[in-house]
Amino acid sequence: MEKIRLNESPIRTCEKFGVNDVVLEGFTVPEVIKAFDSVTIKSGETKLQTNAIKKEASLKYGVGDLLEEQVIKQSNQSYKIVINENQENVELDFDFQENNRSLVDYVEIIAEEGCKGTVILKYKSQDYENSPYEYYHNGICRIEAKKNSNVQVILVNLLNGKSRNFFSLESYVEEDAKAEVITVDFGGKSSVTNYYMNVAQNNAAGSMNSIYLGKEEQKLDINYIAHLNGRKSKIDIEVQGALKDQATKSFKGTIDFKTGAKYAKGNENEFCMLLSDKAKSKALPMLLCTEEDVEGNHSSASGKVDPKQLFYLLSRGFSQKEAMKLIVKARFSHIIDRIEQEELKEEVLAEIDKRLD
């Protein structure tokens, strides 16, 4: 067992705040990665390649060099997804089981010029309650949204409470294109995620929307970074979360207006609902700028459940546990509603109920 430091913020701040990076103690990155063959692919008419994938090295950021190198050299699942028709949808379900405990995956998503589609990557273990198994997931996803394309990528982490989840995402958005990333981050003893979006060209737009839910002694570390390079480019970051028991969360959100991004707009909002006195939330929102005539807004807050809301629901006959579930789902609703797939939406709502019992 060792101590590893991951997910560094792009700009360092005072060490005593404890948000520059995350330190995991008593954890060693697995050296041997066995086969993982429990994958369900729903690909429609999309061209899907599953072998001979050329893995690009050197992420701009990522959760850490050691984990990035493992994906490049040892991935046991690799996919290239090309969206070349409108309204194409792809879903890859990775089902962790007794004989499939370690997944190291590399996924490349390309939305061709003028095309539109949705890609869902779901990581789930069926044995959530009282599982004897510790699962390991380390993944990289690269997104390229070509001119005038529109791509939505939904990442869902429903692993059990003994798992380790690491995920790095990097995206590049061209002129008049739009890339939307939605994340549902519920699982893992620790979940460390790094999402970098380069809104690279004129009139390009990106959004990163996330919900997270921590319980017991879960440790979540979230690092969102957006670079605005094009004129009239735009980024929206919305993060909503809840923590109960002794769960902890660190959020780093950085919007960087680069030279040339005249008239660009960036918005960032993060809110954490504390469901116990022992849960802890840290946040570091940042705006960086080397260009004039831009608009940037950011906010971050945490707080307990509104006692008036809770009293109202209790007075209507709901138990305190059921009232808490309703309040959390109401807070998450505007992000969950962005998921158009009803079956997935219902699964996420059911998981909230289960994990708040």
- The answer to whether 81 and 110 are in contact (CB under 8 A) is yes
Q: Which of 159, 63, 160, 54 is nearest to 108 (CA)?
A: 54
- pLDDT reported for residue 26: 80
pTM of the model: 0.94
169 exposure class (CB count in 10 Å sphere: 0-12, 13-18, 19+): buried
Phi, psi of 219, deg, nearest 5: -125, 115
User: Residue 46 pLDDT more than 60?
Assistant: no
What are the sequence ranges of the domains in the chain? 34-305
β-strand partners of 266: 235, 296
Q: Who contacts 94 (Cβ-Cβ below 8 Å, separation ≥6)?
A: 36, 38, 39, 77, 103, 105, 121, 122, 123, 124, 137
Cα(280)–Cα(301) distance, integer angstroms? 12
Query: What's the DSSP call for residue 147?
Result: T
User: Residue 63 pLDDT more than 80?
Assistant: yes
Among the listed ranges 128-132, 182-186, 230-234, 343-347, which one has the minimum average pLDDT value? 128-132
- pLDDT reported for residue 41: 86
User: Residue 1 pLDDT more than 60?
Assistant: no
Number of residues assigned to the chain: 357
Q: Which of 5, 61, 18 is nearest to 224 (CA)?
A: 61
- pLDDT reported for residue 357: 86
User: Residue 54 pLDDT more than 80?
Assistant: no
Q: 203: alpha, beta or left, given left = phi > 0 and alpha = psi -120 to 50?
A: left
DSSP secondary structure, 166-201, as one string: EEEEEEEE-TT-EEEEEEEE---SEEEEEEEEEE-S
At 251-308, the pLDDT tens digits run: 999 999 999 999 999 999 999 999 999 999 999 999 999 999 999 999 989 999 888 9
At 116-165, the pLDDT tens digits run: 999 999 999 977 666 778 999 999 999 999 999 999 999 999 999 999 99
H-helix or E-strand containing 306?
Answer: none
31 exposure class (CB count in 10 Å sphere: 0-12, 13-18, 19+): exposed
Higher pLDDT, 50 or 91: 91
What's the whole-number mean pLDDT along residues 310-329? 92
Q: What's the mean per-residue pLDDT of the chain?
A: 92
What's the whole-number mean pLDDT along residues 51-64? 80
- The answer to whether 157 and 129 are in contact (CB under 8 A) is no
Torsion of CA 152, 344, 208, 269, to 10 degrees: 150
